Every structure is written in structure tokens, then in C-alpha cells.
Amino acid sequence: MSTEPEFRPGLEDIPAAKSAVSFLDGKKARLEYRGIPVEVLAKESCFEEVAWLLIKGDLPSQKQLAEFDHDLRQRRAIHYRLKDLIKCMPADGHPMDALHASVAALGMFYPCKTVADPVKNWDASMRLIAALPTLVTAFARTRRGDEILDPRSDLDHAANFYYMLTGKEPTPATRKVLDACLILHAEHTMNASTFTARVTGSTLASPYQTIASAIGSLSGPLHGGANEEALTQFEEIGGPEKVKSWLDGKRAADPKYKVMGLGHRVYKVKDARATVLQEIAEHAFSESCRPRAYETAIELENYAAGIYGPKGIYPNVDFYSGVVYQSLGIPTDVFTPIFAIARVAGWLAHWTEQLVGNRIFRPEQISIGKTDIAYVPLENRP
């Protein structure tokens, strides 16, 4: 008698890899990159150091970090033909679609016939980390009719991104907020986009194709796209005093209504990253100048806790990130691309890990369709 394998929708609780890149305890809101708590890294470290830590496995020495930082700065610029390509993209297209296409196109300038050489793979990893901010800002600027700005090698990763987007150098406080946001979003165990990266990587596709696939996965509203949706939701609600009637109305119309920025497959308490992002927001806004969207978010978190808390549904990273980005003057549809600028470090760490003793992903399905059906020629069909 054949026994059918158990089907777990969404592969819930099914390990897809053994990984040492990060650790997550969803009951204790504990997230560690290579053993170091993420909130410590957000305060003490910088994105460049975290990217090295994730991919290489240990904190860099001073010399290693200086060289890595230098190498990243050398790889920020993109070919003028890639800029021309980005200029030709539809201005009303989504920046995540532009990024997806741009990363695949970037790979055409640096063909990887094999992924067997760790030195070349490291070089491609550095180029991807370095060039993503250039690709994101090139589209963000050109679609509004502004000139694309070349990267500045005198600015660090976060500051250079802000400069290329806005044409202004960030204040030290803004730079620190952006840098912390990049750190908080850099890695998160076996989420959908990381799994996508590992699946594509397992076919020995190029690192550019691997990262382009992961970007596609991140773009969806159930994953990275939720940061944009969460801010739009706070604006739609219109103010903290309208939270109760808004949520009651949504739930009356659809008892399964999903509040954007709440819930997580692994977390059963508030996401540690949401807590840090809220601290950043609290620091940025004094009581007197809190944006309406932030006031609305706080009220929604409180009201939703009474309804969804017993089910373990609390704010995830996307709940407060949009409010923070908005306070920096960043357009709403660039929030998810910023997520990609950060998460590329985690994706590449997993890709590097996947290639060691790689085996192509090829899961099973439970077939529920018809079998052994006779082919009817077209002329004999009604």
C-alpha cells in the first residue's frame, strides 16, 4: 500500500536547507546574524560590515573591512548603456520591476559561464551589493525627469544611496537611520525571497539571475511589498481616531481581511526589527511633530493587538519601516527596492552557502489530475 507524503501548504515547518547565516526564534523575537543579535548590529555596526559578516561568516578585521569598503566603492558605477536602458523603461512602471530587469541586464555586462570559482563569485557578490543602489536611484530619478547621478566614492553605502536618490548629502542622523534600516533588512533565515534565491542558485544559474529571481519574490505584497502597502493603509485610514471604525468595517466585509504589516509565519510576538524601527521613529519624531501616519500606525497596533494578539499576530518589519522612510522624504514605491538593497547581502550569503555541496531543488508534488486520457484529434472535438 502506497503512503502519500503529507502536504504542507507553504512548506510550513519544512526545512529547505541547513544554514548558519542567521538564527530566528519567533517566540522570543530573537534574530541573530551569524550569532550576533540584530539590534546590537543596528546600533553598533554598519551595513558594509554586516554584509561581510553574513557572507563570510565572521566579523571582518579592520584591514578586511577597509578593503571591502574600498572594493564596493569601485563597483558602484554602471555602464552608460545600462543607464540608457533604464531611461527607456516606462516612467509609471514599478521600481521593483525596473530593479528586476536592471539586475538581469547588469549580469549581461559580466557574464558568468560557471559559478565554480569562489573568487569570481565573491567579485560578483561585491558588484551586486555595490550596484543595487545605483540601479534603484537611476530609475527613481530618470522617471521623474532628473539626471541620473553617478555614485560618489567619498560617501559610504547608505550616504551614497541617499545622495544618488536626492542629490543631497544626508545629515549624520539621516545616514545613521538609513544604515540601521539596511542592517535590519539584510537577512531573515528561510523567507520566500531567500528560498527563491537558493532554488535559482541550486540550478547553477548566474548570481545575477539568482538575485533577479529573489527580487521578483520580494516584490509581492505578502513579502517585501508589504512596507509600501502598510503606509498606503495608514494613509487610507486617515488618522488614529478612525482606526477602530476602519478595521471593524474591513472585518465586517471580510472576516479574513489581512492588515498589512501584521503577521508572520515564524513570529508569534512582535518582530524584533519592528521594535527597533519604532524606536528609530520615536527618536525621529518628537511628540509634537509625529506624522498622522505614525499616530495611525500606533493606534492600529494597539487596537489590532486585542483582536489578533491571541493568534500571535503582531507587527512585522514592514509595519513601521514605511513611516521611517517617508520621514526621510523617500517615495513610497522605493521602500521595497530599499529592502532589496539590504537583503541582497543575505541572499548572497545563502547563495554562497547553497553552492557548497549543492544539490538542485526538485521537490515532489501530489498529483491530483486525470491520468491516461486518450488524445482526441481537434477535428473530432465538439
Binding site for ligand ACO (CB under 6 A): 10, 191, 222-224, 226, 256, 258-265, 308, 311, 313, 316-318
Between 148 and 317, whose beta carbon lies closer to ligand ACO?
317
Q: DSSP string covering 65-125, please?
A: HHHHHHHHHHT----HHHHHHHHTS-TTS-HHHHHHHHHHHHHHHS--S-S--HHHHHHHH
Between 54 and 159, whose beta carbon lies closer to ligand ACO?
54
Backbone angles phi, psi at 32, to 5 degrees: -125, 140
Please state, in angstroms and rounded to a whole number, the distance separating the CA atoms of residues 134 and 185: 18
Cell numbers 548566474: residue: 206
Please state, in angstroms and rounded to a whole number, the distance separating the CA atoms of residues 56 and 126: 12
* Strands lying side by side in the sheet with 22-25: 22-25, 30-33, 36-37
> What residue is closest to ligand ACO based on CB?
263
Half-sphere exposure of 347 toward its Cβ, with a 13 Å CA cutoff?
33
Q: How far is the CB of 37 from ligand ACO (least distance, A)?
A: 18
Please state, in angstroms and rounded to a whole number, the distance separating the CA atoms of residues 311 and 298: 19
Q: Is 252 exposed, middle or buried (0-12, 13-18, 19+ CB in 10 A)?
A: exposed
Q: Is 139 exposed, middle or buried (0-12, 13-18, 19+ CB in 10 A)?
A: buried
Q: DSSP string covering 299-320, please?
A: HHHHHHHHHHGGGT--B-HHHH
Active-site residue identified among 264, 283, 333, 372 = 264
Between 26 and 331, whose beta carbon lies closer to ligand ACO?
26
Active-site residue identified among 157, 185, 318, 350 = 318
Whether 317 contacts 184, CB under 8 Å: yes
Q: How far is the CB of 371 from ligand ACO (least distance, A)?
A: 31
Please state, in angstroms and rounded to a whole number, the distance separating the CA atoms of residues 263 and 274: 12
Q: How far is the CB of 152 from ligand ACO (least distance, A)?
A: 30
Q: How far is the CB of 225 from ligand ACO (least distance, A)?
A: 8
223 included as an active-site residue: no
Q: Which helix (H) or strand (E) holds 229?
A: helix 226-237
Between 103 and 274, whose beta carbon lies closer to ligand ACO?
274
Between 107 and 225, whose beta carbon lies closer to ligand ACO?
225
Q: How far is the CB of 95 from ligand ACO (least distance, A)?
A: 17
Between 136 and 138, whose beta carbon lies closer to ligand ACO?
136
Between 82 and 342, whose beta carbon lies closer to ligand ACO?
342
Cell numbers 472535438: residue: 381
Between 260 and 355, whose beta carbon lies closer to ligand ACO?
260
Torsion of CA 205, 208, 211, 216, to 10 degrees: -90
Kindly report the number of other CB atoms within 10 A of residue 257's CB atom.
Answer: 11
Please state, in angstroms and rounded to a whole number, the distance separating the CA atoms of residues 348 and 273: 21
Please state, in angstroms and rounded to a whole number, the distance separating the CA atoms of residues 366 and 166: 51
Known catalytic residues?
A: 264, 318
